[in-house]
């Protein structure tokens, strides 16, 4: 039967037309989502998109059939102690003000889903209340931000999988604690009043129940604006809450997809937590043995001599699009084509003024990039993000952030004197 030359006209009501347009939009969005690998209804990038961005592959969790992201084959970032560069408060504030915030809105973390026992909840609340009180004082606004960072760390693979474990991480080691109050004597010298402690407990309980501080997003680090930790130069500056600055890891480990850790349970409180003995008696909360050795004084503790890695032979790295001539005699010792951090062994005979041009060549068109340079071959960084031991001995550091293509260059002025002291790395003026 031959087809008619013209199709009959279909008369639609306004309601039918609106429904047809809506259905077409839904189909188009679903098709776009499939093409881009976005998981529909998951609240964020799906397995394919997250995996592709991180260089990994998507897979299925055995037994439940749910899509999951396979962690990309890149090492977890090193968790360094809070070691400060020796600066006056005014100098520290000036340096901190010169570091730009990452562009765009801060993406909030999802509500924390507590999956422990009732005893775990009591212990976690006590440890979290301790952190928010001693880190932010009797200030609910600052306390919510501190609580968010602690819970972000619980979900990050680089940190312990309990609240108490995160709060007191490192307090038993000579290398220093993660939160200053756990090793500087604050818990013995300053005890909260009953009213202040109750407010801290309320903030902690709400955070464990799913309250989210949207202002700090996925931040895993923070510090007050009158100090400058060594690690601050390797992280992305996210936001400011009163006098505290908040940071996240750079690259994949700072993205939402990296926070795939699961709360483990099995909490145990430090004996210095307010009311620890009463919790043990009334609720059966496990209490750790008293820590008397290994605690360090907060500030700039001496690092153990075995933290510096000496290598007799280091590999030479080549990057596509970066000819050897562009390195001007320097040698690239660390970095990958898809990475953002690179380490150079600097040539002693090359002029220090030429370091920034070499760093620009190494960074190519990357929107975010860090290049470190070392004149001492034995001190060249052997991992990224750069360890504290490497940062303290760096001769040159270059940082480029999104929206800042020219980047910022700083020299270790103890090794390479500069006429302009604003170009000196903090603490080397």
pLDDT, one tens digit per residue, over 309-335 is 223 345 788 888 888 889 999 999 888
| CA 129 and chain centroid, separation | 22
State the Cα–Cα distance between residues 106 and 160, nearest whole angstrom.
25
Is the pLDDT confidence value at 33 over 60?
no
As beta bridge partners, residue 409 has 398
What sections of 156-230 are H helices per DSSP? Answer: 163-167, 186-189, 194-208
In the numeric block, which tokens belong to residue 172? 């038993």
The answer to whether residues 395 and 409 touch, using CB atoms and an 8 Å cutoff, is no
Domains and CATH numbers, the chain: 16-69 (no CATH), 89-302 (1.10.10.2520), 307-423 (no CATH)
**Cα dist from 412 to 243, 271, 273, 362, 363, whole Å:** 28, 43, 41, 20, 21
Neighbours of 114 (CB within 10 A): 19
Q: In which residue are the tokens 């000036």 written?
A: 94
Is the pLDDT confidence value at 216 over 60?
yes
State the Cα–Cα distance between residues 240 and 120, nearest whole angstrom.
31
Average pLDDT, integer, range 417-423: 89
Residue predicted with more confidence, 377 or 313? 377
State the Cα–Cα distance between residues 250 and 230, nearest whole angstrom.
15
Average pLDDT, integer, range 192-204: 94
Average pLDDT, integer, range 370-383: 87
């Amino acid at each position: 039967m031959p087809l008619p030359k013209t199709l009959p006209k279909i008369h639609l009501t306004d309601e039918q037309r609106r429904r047809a347009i809506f259905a077409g939009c839904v189909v188009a969005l679903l098709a776009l989502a499939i093409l881009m690998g976005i998981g529909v209804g998951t609240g964020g990038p799906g397995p394919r998109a997250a995996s592709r961005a991180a260089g990994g592959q998507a897979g299925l969790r055995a037994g439940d059939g749910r899509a999951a992201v396979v962690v990309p084959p890149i090492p977890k970032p090193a968790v360094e102690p809070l070691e400060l560069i020796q600066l006056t408060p005014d100098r520290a504030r000036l340096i901190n003000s010169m570091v730009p915030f990452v562009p765009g809105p801060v993406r909030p973390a999802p509500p924390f889903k507590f999956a422990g026992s009732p005893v775990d909840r009591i212990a976690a609340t006590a440890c979290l209340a301790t952190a928010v009180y001693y880190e932010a004082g009797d200030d609910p606004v600052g306390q919510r931000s501190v609580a968010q960072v602690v819970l972000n760390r619980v979900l990050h693979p680089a940190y312990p999988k309990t609240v108490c474990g995160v709060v007191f991480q490192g307090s038993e080691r000579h290398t220093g604690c993660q939160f200053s109050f756990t090793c500087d004597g604050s818990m013995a010298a300053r005890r909260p009043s009953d009213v202040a402690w109750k407010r801290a407990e309320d903030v902690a309980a709400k955070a464990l129940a799913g309250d989210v501080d949207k202002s700090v997003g996925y931040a895993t680090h923070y510090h007050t604006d009158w100090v400058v930790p060594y690690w601050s130069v390797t992280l992305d500056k996210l936001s400011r809450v009163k006098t505290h600055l908040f940071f996240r890891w750079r690259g994949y480990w700072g993205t939402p997809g990296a926070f795939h850790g699961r709360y483990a349970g099995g909490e145990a409180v430090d004996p210095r937590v307010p009311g620890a003995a009463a919790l043990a008696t009334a609720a059966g909360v496990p209490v750790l043995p008293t820590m008397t050795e290994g605690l360090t004084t907060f500030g700039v503790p001496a690092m153990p001599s075995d933290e510096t890695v000496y290598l007799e032979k280091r590999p030479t790295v080549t990057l596509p699009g970066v000819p050897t001539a562009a390195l001007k005699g320097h040698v690239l010792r660390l970095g990958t084509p898809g990475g953002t951090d690179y380490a150079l062994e600097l040539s002693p005979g090359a002029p220090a003024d030429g370091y920034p041009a070499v760093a620009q060549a190494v960074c190519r068109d990357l929107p975010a990039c860090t290049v470190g340079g070392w004149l001492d071959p034995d001190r060249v960084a052997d991992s990224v993000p750069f360890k504290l031991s490497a940062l303290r001995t760096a001769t040159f550091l270059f940082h480029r952030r999104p929206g800042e293509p020219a980047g910022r260059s700083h020299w270790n002025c103890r090794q390479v004197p500069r006429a302009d002291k604003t170009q000196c790395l903090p603490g080397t003026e």
